[in-house]
Amino acid sequence: MSELAERFETHDPGEKQVAEKIRCDACPVMCYIADGRTGACDRYGNVGGRIVRMDPLTILDHAAETGLAMVPFVAGGEAWDGELVNTGRRFVTAIGAGTTYPDYKPAPFIVSQEVEGVDLVTVVTEGIFSYCGVKVKIDTDRHIGPETAVVRSQGEAIGHVTTGEYGSQMLSLGGVHHLTGGSKSEGRATCDALLNLCNRKPVELSIDGGATVIVEAGKPPVIDGKIEHRMRVGCGSATIGMFATQWRGLVDEVVVVDDHITGVVSEHQAGKVLGWQDTGIKIIGRRSTPGRYFKVSEPGLGWGGTSISDPLSILGEWNAKKGARPGLSLLMVSTTGEQFAYYELDDELRPVQKPFPERLQKSVGLIEDNCEPALCTVLFIGGAGGSLRAGVTENPVNLTRSVQGLTTYVTVGGAPVYVWPGGGITLMVDVTRVPEGAFGYVPTPALVAPIEFTLRRDDYIRLGGYEAEIRSVEDIVAKGGEYLNPRRGTGAAAGNPWPPLAQLHRANGAR
Ligand code: SF4
């Protein structure tokens, strides 16, 4: 028996071993695979002359939700012995299900379950996504590159820097233009980076004219070799608003240095309301409204996402007529509280750095305490409004309408998704809510992602579903499907609702 055959004990041991290569038709690449070998994507192999899906079909156990112990029912690649370990709620995901390619045939699994007296159906398939990408949120103030700058992986352009959000830098990666519209190596590098990001692996990205960032979903970003620990508490103006009372009576002036909006407490509305005296300070930057300044520096990796390492470089001459005087005290701090310094004006009204006073430690510590941990967030975005719909219904537009009309609930590996309003089925999912290793690829190149559609059985029949293909969870656990792979039970991620129940409540609410 070949090594692969040994891994799949569900396979009939008496089956004839076929020496010739056989064709996998699960994607347009159409690999010819020799016995004991796998195809180009490693997802399918030839086991004794049969095409086998190499990863097990993943069935989520929501026992924790129902208070039952979670027991993996296939361990260490052993064959399923047919015994139900517990009666917790199960959900057949599309992970390891196989695809519907070349699209006309019914999805690999169409599963029925009765919940609270209502028949529900879940259609399960692994979608091949040529139109897909990821949106990456990197919690940092640091300037990692200008908007629209090219983002590269393995030297190839795979996306761009997009609009920054509050306390975070954003990347838009992948998409059909990088996957299919450039050179072969660009498509490969894009597919490779997307696959690793979706499977929560670290990926090094370099930004033209900017930084090198290691992105790993759910982990802190590493920017030019430095781990980012904290996300800023707010912009400079917001920081003034939040902490002005903490500084009252302890210091004469506070400047919160921020690349976007630098705040000055004596001029800011928060300081005015508290009766803060004028200090004659001058900020070099574009004054927006009192105590709020734009563009005090170029963006960079310095204080508050600016390029400066010496905060005094954003100050002009102090004006004695407007309140500057020898001995006036000044706190300068960044939006994460990581950088801070204390100064007093000398007889020539020049700020001179002094040891940081004990009385201000608490307020700086409070800024740090209010910062959330810096993380990378990776959202997979894909278009499911194409040919995979034919595996759900004979009339594909009915599925789109049903998803848009909230009659059908969409999940990716059992994780809830956000479906964009408007045409098509454009969905986004947080990859940390999807079971690990759920994403695959084919060398066309495209990503493979699990996708499940859950709806009431009567609605499914009405939209032209494949009624004759509907099977029970127990039958699928016991017998598997066309690709002969074992079934694997695993605990559902905490916080992911049991999808059929979510759909039941939604469908009932919509009626
Ligand atoms: S790349 Fe994978 S899915 Fe496509 S034909 Fe080859 S083995 Fe099958």
Assess whether the C-beta atom of 442 lies below 6 angstroms from ligand 1.
yes
Burial 260-287 (b: 16+ CB within 10 A, else e): bbbbbbbbbebbeeeebeebbbebebee
Assess whether the C-beta atom of 230 lies below 6 angstroms from ligand 1.
no
Provide the pLDDT for residue 57.
96
Distance in Å, CA 28 to ligand 1 centroid: 8
pLDDT at 18 over 90: no
pLDDT at 82 over 60: no
- Strands 376-383 and 132-139 turn out to be antiparallel
Give the pLDDT confidence of 114-172 residue by residue, as tens digits: 888 889 999 999 999 999 999 999 999 889 999 999 999 999 999 999 999 999 999 99
**Mean pLDDT lowest for which of 97-101, 339-343, 443-447?**
97-101
Provide the pLDDT for residue 321.
97
pLDDT at 63 over 90: no
Q: Which of 255, 368, 360 is nearest to 313 (CA)?
A: 255
Give the pLDDT confidence of 384-416 residue by residue, as tens digits: 888 889 989 988 999 999 999 989 999 999 999
pLDDT at 17 over 60: no
Q: Kindly list the distances between the CA atom of residue 183 and the CA atoms of 89, 203, 296, 431, in Å, as whole numbers in the listed order.
A: 46, 21, 41, 27
Give the pLDDT confidence of 248-304 residue by residue, as tens digits: 999 999 999 999 999 999 999 999 999 999 999 999 999 999 999 999 999 998 999
Q: How confident is the model at residue 19 (pLDDT cuts 50, 70, 90)?
A: low
Q: Cβ-count burial of 181 within 10 angstroms (0-12 exposed, 13-18 middle, 19+ buried)? A: exposed
Q: Cβ-count burial of 147 within 10 angstroms (0-12 exposed, 13-18 middle, 19+ buried)? A: exposed
Single-letter residue type at 123: V
Which of 21, 22, 24 is the best mutation target for the ligand 1 pocket, counting ligand atoms within 8 Å of the beta carbon and taking the most? 24
Residue bearing the CA closest to ligand 1, atom 5: 30
State how far the Cα of 180 lies from the Cα of 191, in Å rounded to an integer.
Answer: 10
- Name the β-bridge partners of 440: 448
**Residues near 498 by Cβ (< 8 Å), separated by ≥ 6?**
62, 65, 89, 91, 492
Average pLDDT score over the chain: 89
Q: Cβ-count burial of 348 within 10 angstroms (0-12 exposed, 13-18 middle, 19+ buried)? A: exposed
Closest ligand 1 atom to 33 CA: 7
Assess whether the C-beta atom of 26 lies below 6 angstroms from ligand 1.
yes
Closest ligand 1 atom to 443 CA: 1
Q: How confident is the model at residue 37 (pLDDT cuts 50, 70, 90)?
A: very high
Assess whether the C-beta atom of 40 lies below 6 angstroms from ligand 1.
yes
Provide the pLDDT for residue 3.
52
Distance in Å, CA 102 to ligand 1 centroid: 12
State how far the Cα of 434 lies from the Cα of 413, in Å rounded to an integer.
Answer: 6
pLDDT at 380 over 90: yes
Distance in Å, CA 26 to ligand 1 centroid: 6
Residue bearing the CA closest to ligand 1, atom 2: 41
State how far the Cα of 270 lies from the Cα of 451, in Å rounded to an integer.
Answer: 50
Assess whether the C-beta atom of 443 lies below 6 angstroms from ligand 1.
yes
Q: How confident is the model at residue 207 (pLDDT cuts 50, 70, 90)?
A: very high
Closest ligand 1 atom to 442 CA: 1
Distance in Å, CA 43 to ligand 1 centroid: 7
Which of 41, 52, 126, 191 is the best mutation target for the ligand 1 pocket, counting ligand atoms within 8 Å of the beta carbon and taking the most? 41
Q: Which of 108, 103, 171, 87 is nearest to 378 (CA)?
A: 171
**Mean pLDDT lowest for which of 85-94, 371-380, 413-422?**
85-94
DSSP state of 498: -
Take residue 403 and report the two structure tokens written for it.
């998803």
Provide the pLDDT for residue 345.
98
Assess whether the C-beta atom of 507 lies below 6 angstroms from ligand 1.
no
- Name the β-bridge partners of 340: 333
- Strands 253-257 and 222-223 turn out to be unpaired
Distance in Å, CA 386 to ligand 1 centroid: 20
pLDDT at 53 over 50: yes
